[in-house]
Amino acid sequence: MKKLASTSVLSKFRNTFIGDRKFYTSVFLLVLPVIVQNTISNFVNLLDNIMIGQIGTPQMSGVAIANQLIFVCYLTIFGGLSGAGIFGAQFFGAGDHEGLRNTVRFKLWTVTITLVIAIAIFLAFGDQLISLYLTGDGDATERAAMLEYSRSYLRIMLWGLLPFSLSQVYSGTLREMGETLLPMKSSLAGVITNLCLNYILIYGKLGFPALGVEGAAIATVISRFVELAIIIVYTHRHSGKFRFVEGLYRTIRIPRGLTFNIIKKGIPLLVNELLWSLGMITLTQIFSTRGLNVVAALNITSTITNLFNVIFISMGSAVAVMVGQAQGANDIPRAKQTAWRLIFFNFCICIVVGGVLIALSPVLPYIYNTTDYVRMLATRFMQTSAIYMAVNAVSHCSYFTLRSGGKTFITFLFDSAYTWGFFVPFTYILTHFTNLNILMLYPICYLADILKCIIGIIVVKRGHWAQNMVSNTSSNECIASNDDAL
């Protein structure tokens, strides 16, 4: 009897968490190009970081601070496009090309409005925002240099926000259709351009002047335009395959019913990404009060760990597409089963990847031209990130699972509300009201990730997130008349 019960439990576990060969083939075909794209991108970011770091620690830290601010803009754009992306995946799953086309128009409106606001804020308050990260102990001359390097880098990087945003509109839509190779190829071309121009412009090769930090920013901006040009030209030349581009710019109007539905689902995602990214840079700012050395170590840590995090981050795309398309096809049981299998798969992979990062963490900081103390801090920070990697993988997939079913308010509570309601205050209190050394403080603060992981598992298990949102939002209903359009 016990053997029978044990066999039954094992069978249930396999059915819930482990897929067949066809399932994992589908996952790899979908995720592998995204992993390759993100790996190359993060590897080039690492090389950029090293190149700038070879000039000096103030330059490296100044660029890192500017990138923290740009990171907020990037994630806000991502959040603004995510609401339409939910509908895009389900429209494609339902075979509704006009519905998908209208979601792309909504995305174009979203990035236009977001960019105007973001650029205005950076131009008006850029120096004040940068200065928030320069309050810790350290040399006044070094602090002034960081401010100047960060300012000049940020001003140039603003020119790259438009091509970045448009690339996200197109590549995101292609991924919703299950097409991941073209975004990967365009991104690859962009990062190769970035890497080559970085070497030329930072150090002054091939007759060009040595521009340092400004050269790095110029190279990044040019690479953004290269990536955009490739993805737009190819997509529009193959309109038979990517039917959403047929007549895409014939009108900028969007059916009113669809617009309100996307806004209803999308606003929580936009606000969530904005607040979550603000939460992340606030955590960095809180830690930075422990000294300028901590700022440098955190920059090294984030750059290297981002390279190792690409697998679990990329798995979010698989969740969004595979679970979203299953819901669009009204196959709710398959959507739930797919979600659990992807969560478990991601968890297992990150245990292995985290182990590799722990093993390499004492060596990796030596690729930077910095002090031994900064290297030691970076090593310990990386080890902490590696320990929490599998936990974060579960939380990440849980977030995309909830989002795929349109439960955007719940994702808002799960992500940014949790960050600001618990994580940030917890970190602030420990940083400002205890004498804990930064080496103890950092891992203790990130214990908050474990609680978030548990909450994510509970909410996904309840299953209320799974729903078909496009069965009553067909393109025929949406485009009834011009009076119903915005």
Per-residue pLDDT tens digits for 123-152: 988 888 888 877 766 667 777 888 888 899
311 lies in some domain: yes
Q: Burial, 363: exposed, middle or buried (Cβ in 10 Å; 0-12, 13-18, 19+)?
A: exposed
Q: What is the mean pLDDT of residues 270-293?
A: 84
Does the residue 186 lie in any domain? yes
Instruction: Tell whether 424 is covered by a domain.
Output: yes
Q: What is the pLDDT of residue 65?
A: 82
pLDDT digits (tens, 9 = 90+) for 430-464: 998 988 889 999 999 999 889 999 998 998 888 77
Both tokens of residue 392?
Answer: 């974060």
Segments forming the whole domain that contains residue 320: 19-469
> Do the domain assignments include residue 231?
yes
Collect all residues with Cβ–Cβ distance below 8 Å to 302 and sequence separation of at least 6.
64
Q: Are 171 and 235 contacting, i.e. CB atoms less than 8 angstroms apart?
A: no
Mean pLDDT across 282-289:
86
Residue-averaged pLDDT of the chain: 82
Closest CA to 404 of 315, 279, 303, 480: 315
pLDDT at 41: 67
Residue 306 has pLDDT above 70, yes or no: yes
- DSSP letter at 244 equals G
What are the beta bridge partners of residue 485?
A: 255
- Write the DSSP string, 252-264: ---BHHHHHHHHH
Q: What is the mean pLDDT of residues 481-486?
A: 40
Share of the chain above pLDDT 90, in %: 20
Q: Please answer whether residues 403 and 320 qualify as being in contact, where contact means their C-beta atoms are separated by less than 8 angstroms.
A: yes
For residue 89, what pLDDT is reported? 75
Position 397, amino acid: C
Average pLDDT (80-100) is 77
Q: Is 136 domain-assigned?
A: yes
CA 57/CA 123 separation, integer angstroms: 25
Q: For residue 486, is it within any domain?
A: no
CB atoms under 10 Å from CB of 444, counted, come to: 14
Q: What is the mean pLDDT of residues 419-425?
A: 91
Q: Are 111 and 168 in contact (CB under 8 A)?
A: yes
- Measured in whole angstroms, the distance separating CA 96 from the mean position of its chain's CA atoms is 28
pLDDT, one tens digit per residue, over 181-228 is 888 888 888 888 988 998 899 888 888 888 888 998 999 899 999 999
The pLDDT, as a whole number, for residue 479 is 38
d(CA 101, CA 98) in angstroms, rounded, equals 5
Q: Is the pTM of this model over 0.75?
A: no
Residue 410 neighbours by CB distance under 10 Å: 18
Mean pLDDT of 387-395: 92
Please compute the mean of the pLDDT values over residues 161-175 and round it to a whole number.
89
pLDDT at 483: 40
Assigned domain for 211 exists? yes
Cβ burial of 46 (10 Å; 0-12, 13-18, 19+) is middle
When pLDDT is cut at 50, 70 and 90, the band that residue 485 belongs to is very low
Number of domains in the chain: 1
- Residue 7 placed within a domain: no
- For residue 482, what pLDDT is reported? 37
pLDDT reported for residue 261? 80
pLDDT of residue 218: 93
How is residue 322 annotated by DSSP?
Answer: I
Over the stretch 229-248, which tens digit does the pLDDT of each residue have?
999 999 888 877 888 878 77
d(CA 250, CA 107): 15
